[in-house]
Amino acid sequence: MPTDTNQMKYNKTHHKYLLDLEFLRNTYGLDFVLKYGSSTKATNKMLQISTRIYNYIYNHKQRSKRFWEWYLAFNDDVREVIQETLVQQCIFEYESDASDLQHIIGINFLNGIKISENDLKGSRGIALEAENTLRNYKDGMLLYAGKQIYLPEDSVFDYTEYDY
């Protein structure tokens, strides 16, 4: 069973950890409820941030997403890495609104100059420290994109059976 703490809780619907809003406010001074105007919007922002980090990890994997969902949910060592990565991403997002930049079209209508899509949507969506935290876990295992033939197929990991 994934472990919930005062710092983060596991969301079984989305199969990822979400940071606790009170933890962020009390520990880092990041008040997402105040910034976004409601607890619901702040919680949605936590889901968006977690989704960004989890997808970043999954994008480095060739197969077996369910294995990696299971691994990220149950492995005690990686749970600490996920928490630190999510904190770094929250700080980055809180201070820069990076995800908001990715929703603009990048055209200055006054002069017609266009910002390249790569500049708008490139790696700026992931905090450098978040990426480095993932890269430093077990010699880059979370961001390793090569073949990992020892991984079981997705059908082996059943959400109901393993309760995640």
Tell me which residue has tokens 């995800």: 99
Which residue reads 């393993």 in tokens? 162
Quote the CA–CA distance of 103 and 106 in Å, as a whole number. 9
Per-residue confidence of the chain (164 residues) as pLDDT tens digits? 799 999 999 999 999 999 999 999 999 999 999 999 999 999 999 999 999 999 999 998 877 788 899 999 999 899 999 999 999 999 999 998 777 666 666 777 778 788 776 666 655 678 999 999 999 988 778 887 776 656 666 666 778 777 77
Q: CA-CA distance, 133 to 125, in Å (whole number)?
A: 15
Number of domains in the chain: 1
Domain that holds residue 89: 8-147
- Any domain includes 1: no
13, part of any domain: yes
Answer whether residue 61 is part of any domain.
Answer: yes
Q: Is residue 162 part of a domain?
A: no
Asked whether residue 114 is assigned to any structural domain, the reply reads yes
Domain-embedded: residue 155: no
The answer to whether the beta carbons of residues 27 and 2 sit under 8 Å apart is no
- Whether residue 52 lies inside any domain: the answer is yes
Statement: the pTM of the whole predicted model exceeds 0.85: no
Task: Report which of 135, 100, 106 is spatially closest to residue 118, judged by C-alpha positions.
Answer: 106
